[in-house]
Amino acid sequence: MALLTLEALRAHGHELTIVSPIDSEVTHSPAGAARLEGVGRSVLVPVRPPGLVAAALRAAFGPTPITVARHSHPGVRDEVERLLSREPFDVVHAEQPQALAQVAGAGRFGVPVVLRAQNVESDLWEGASRGAGLIQPILAREARRLAAFERQAVREVAATVTLTAHDASRLAELSGAPERVSHVAAPFPPRLPAASVPLAGAPPVVLFGSGGWRPNEEATRWFIGEAWPRVRKALPGAALHVVGAPAAGSGGVCGRAAPSDSREVFAEGAVLVVPLHIASGVRMKILEAWARGVPVVSTPAGARGLDAADGRELLLADGPEAFALALRRLHAEPGLAASLVAAGRERLTRHHDPGTVGRGLTEVYARTASPGRT
């Protein structure tokens, strides 16, 4: 999404300088680097991200949330300040609250900061704390710290942009500063090619596991343990492809490593399931499924923020039997999948067009840019 946003801004005539941390121990894609170079000047700063324990210790005796401490990189902050001290900039765009530590010096140079919050982090952590057993107090405390951090961030930056109207309302309520929060949808093209190689199963069902984040891990466990047996009873030939997370290899379930090109798992005839019970922001994989011609079955939480209606752009399911019924409907009703995809693509065209997003962000920048600098 960040790259799509940069391309949309470049198309609107903005001159971009991208300052980003890169893991010094990870090899990065030359194609991705070339595409980044195509939208503006990029300054990649090698860092060694602190581990969870180190970040927790750093945050233990102060107000900084753990997730913010994990993404604080002095080298990136120094590079941003070096650029601001030497060149004129109209706006500094911080992607996610965790990036604010890197742009803390912008005020000294009279350059306003616009924050784009992809989700409401405190809501995610508060949701993750429910039913978390022994670690519930830790997660709940982190949620409170994040809420305080987000409240202060919205009040201090020049403007905050969210991806959904729901998140805009939440941050406006949390901060008490609704005039500082606006909503600009996530950019996404209405059509992308589907996979060239089909997936096994009748139908093949795709689930993005995304290990490492508790809500995703809980959703994957729940779907495999509770919903999938009911799906297999209704559709004995179905196969579940769990992408990016380990999964059992029996009962029609197979784990798949995260592909270098996500297109590989959006095959013709497949269905994307989104069984999240804790969510904020926008599920970009739903947007990608529509663009690649794949229908979606999601929990209400997973689809929140898209303003998509049950039976129009996707099917909603709030329990194991509901998922089985929805997948059986898609398999049995000719034309239903195509109808959902067509409506999803229409929504992409009307609400997620990169050109529209570029104009929306440009308007926010114009309202906040320092006088005489635009």
Q: What pLDDT score does 26 carry?
A: 47
Confidence of residue 247 (pLDDT cuts 50, 70, 90): low
Output the pLDDT for position 279. Answer: 83
Does a structural domain hold residue 195?
Answer: no
Domain membership of residue 44 (yes or no) is: yes
Whether residues 99 and 238 fall in one domain: no
Instruction: Please report the pLDDT score of residue 253 as a whole number.
Output: 93
Residue 295: which CATH number?
3.40.50.2000
Which has more pLDDT, 359 or 24? 359
pLDDT number for residue 60: 65
Alpha-helical runs (H) found in the chain:
2-11, 30-37, 52-60, 66-70, 74-86, 121-129, 136-156, 165-175, 214-222, 228-234, 284-291, 300-303, 320-332, 336-351, 354-368
Do 131 and 157 lie in a common domain? yes
Calculate the average pLDDT of the chain.
Answer: 89
Q: Tally Cβ neighbours within 10 Å of residue 42.
A: 15
Looking at the fold, whether 296 and 315 belong to one and the same domain comes out as yes
Q: How many domains does the chain have?
A: 2
The answer to whether position 198 is within a domain reads no
Q: Does pTM top 0.75 for this prediction? A: yes
Region 214-243: mean pLDDT is: 93
Q: Do both 123 and 183 map to the same domain?
A: yes
pLDDT of residue 128: 86
- For the segment 79-90, the average pLDDT, to the nearest whole number, is 94
State the residue range of the domain holding 344: 204-351
Does residue 32 sit in the same domain as residue 169? yes
Q: Are residues 263 and 176 in the same domain?
A: no
Q: In degrees to the nearest 10, what's the CA dihedral of 135, 163, 327, 132?
A: 10
Please write the tens of the pLDDT for every residue from 338-348: 999 999 999 99
Residue 163 sits in the same domain as residue 265: no
Residue 362 lies in a domain: yes
Confidence band, pLDDT 50/70/90 cuts, at residue 373:
very low
Alpha-carbon span 215 to 280, nearest angstrom: 11
- Whole-number pLDDT of residue 316: 98
The string of pLDDT tens digits covering residues 260-288 is 899 999 999 999 999 999 888 889 999 99
Assigned token pair, 174:
């949390």
Residue 121 maps to a domain? yes
Predicted confidence (pLDDT) at residue 322 exceeds the cutoff of 90: yes
Q: Of the ranges 21-30, 41-50, 72-81, 229-238, which one carries the lowest mean pLDDT score?
A: 21-30
Q: What percentage of the chain exceeds 90 in pLDDT? A: 68
Q: Both 121 and 260 in a single domain? A: no
Residue 192 lies in a domain: no
> Is residue 196 included in any domain, yes or no?
no
- One domain for residues 346 and 358: no
pLDDT band at 212; cut points 50, 70, 90 = low
Shared domain for 229 and 145, answered yes or no, is no
Q: Are residues 223 and 310 in the same domain?
A: yes
Query: Could you please report the per-residue DSSP string of 273-296?
Result: EE--SS--S--HHHHHHHHTT--E
Residues 295 and 238 placed together within one structural domain of the fold? yes
194 within domain boundaries:
no
Residue 374: pLDDT band with limits 50, 70, 90: very low
